[in-house]
Amino acid sequence: MKFYYIYTYGCQMNESDSERLAKQLEDSGYKATDDVNQADLIILNTCCVRETAENKIYGRIGELKHLKEKNKNLIIAITGCMAQKNQADMFKRAPHIDIVLGTHNIQHINEMIAEVQRTHKHQMNIAMDNSVLPELEAKPGGSFFAWVPINNGCNKFCTYCIVPHVRGREISRPISAIVEDVRRLGTQGYKEITLLGQNVNSYGLDFKNGTDFGTLVDALEGIPGIERIRYMTSHPQDMTKSMIDALARSSVVVPQLHLPVQSGSNRILKKMNRHYTVEHYLDLLSYARQHIPDLTVTTDIIVGFPGETDEDFKGTLDLLHKADYDMAYTFIYSKRSGTPAATMDEQVPDEIKKVRLQQLMDVQNEISLRKNKAMEGKTYSLIVEGPSRTDEHMWFGRTPGNKMVLFPQDEELHIGDTIKARIVKGQTWVLYGTPIK
């Protein structure tokens, strides 16, 4: 019996790729282990969005050296965005690595392993073929929830982002393959799926036949067993009102929209190469709220982008009030080498970035608390996810809008059950509820 251990860094796309790596390994006879010391194969599926993340991963790779010294047959593979970005440099920096596998090549993992076993030499495959997306089945990590990638890559080239350089150009999976995936997951007992793409709103545009994200949403209607469909990430430039109409008429797509705005200043949005204005963004949001009742809206915001003035930052604070987000994921801008923003003039000093971040979080936390308190007394459906990580006497589930609700442990409930719960208390980050029987 051979064991594999996969550690995943970064975004949901990487989680999804890890599930696809896992399925291939299991098909060739490997079994999963949570114990890195027991593994015959270790895969670090990496991220390079931030330089700090990359340094941490190099640290982890260094720690694996002693395992390789103990077990000469151990195979160590580095996959994902950092493998794609650093390529053969990874072998120079860490010769105990056996395999470097790029973002377009996870379908080759088993052949790469066989080559290492045959030749005892470094193996690397970092070719980027933007014409085809391999169809690979996943081994979902959860029992009722699964990721379903719909497109890969990005054509946007935001000036702070490394993703298009390591994930390549946008390429969409055929609708039939996605529907087939979701159907299979439905028959296997999965009830909640999340459609994944760097930019889901550009789905199908590469087919050049009128297909778009709205067409896909319509095609996913009424699949047996599927109760909830989520999607991420959206892009304000490509999201259209007709896509919002499709989301609104779907009986399974949940009322949740993660629409990254990044800045409330048109000047900074231009420097970020985002290709929309604050006015366009707010118009989309208002249309979505009019057509999708009880919509939960979240966003991503970067503070301290090069050249961001007090006035630009004030625009972002104003936007928070206007957009009335349920939650905002806020980030301090950090330089990512290889991106245009890293060499822009007028880098904002760290102290200013920190002060702005705190101001932003203070404003957003007040809004989040108000919105969560407004849910008190209302009833929502939840899918039970299991014990809370912070309180052993509580379990948790999520509302259709993806808000986490803690409720008292109940032996009659099981992971994956769909229940109703009344919200008894709303806090900034979490809600408390009582299951209704």
**Residues at the contact surface with ligand SF4, assessed by CB under 6 A:** 154, 156-158, 161, 163-164, 198-199, 235
CA atoms of 313 and 145, how far apart (whole Å) = 38
Residues 6 or more apart from 52 whose CB is under 8 A from it? 334
Cα 392 to chain center, whole Å? 27
Find how far residue 96's CA is from the centre of its chain: 30
Using CA atoms, how far residue 195 sits from 58, 110, 311, in Å, is 31, 26, 37
Shortest spacing between CB 354 and ligand SF4, in angstroms: 23
CA angle (398 as vertex; 392, 402 as ends), nearest 5: 135
Nearer to ligand SF4, 106 or 158 (CB): 158
Nearest approach, Cβ of 91 to ligand SF4 (angstroms)? 27
Residue type, 229: I
Contact 86, 58 (CB under 8 A): no
State the nearest-atom distance from the C-beta of 299 to ligand SF4, in Å: 13
Neighbours of 35 (CB within 10 A): 8
Integer-rounded Cα Rg, in Å, for the chain is 22
The candidate with the shortest Cα–Cα distance to 357, out of 402, 413, 436, 301, is 301
- DSSP tag of 253: B
403 phi, psi to nearest 5 deg: -90, 135
| Closer Cβ to ligand SF4, 91 or 203, answer by number | 203
Residue 412 sits at φ, ψ, to 5 deg, of -80, -15
Residue 272 makes CB contacts below 8 A (sequence gap 6+) with: 158, 159, 160, 262, 263, 302, 305, 341
Neighbouring-strand partners of residue 391: none
If the CB atoms of residues 198 and 265 are measured against ligand SF4, the closer one turns out to be 198
Nearer to ligand SF4, 47 or 375 (CB): 47
**Strand 379-387 to 394-398 pairing:** antiparallel
Least distance between ligand SF4 and beta carbon 378 (Å): 34
Alpha helix (H) ranges present in 229-302?
Answer: 241-249, 266-271, 278-291
Which of 12/388 has CB closer to ligand SF4?
Answer: 12
The residue among 432, 431, 405 whose CA lies nearest residue 418 is 405
Distance CA 98, CA 94 (A): 9
| 198 versus 372: smaller Cβ distance to ligand SF4 | 198
Beta pairing partners, 386: 396
What's the min distance (Å) between Cβ of 240 and ligand SF4? 16
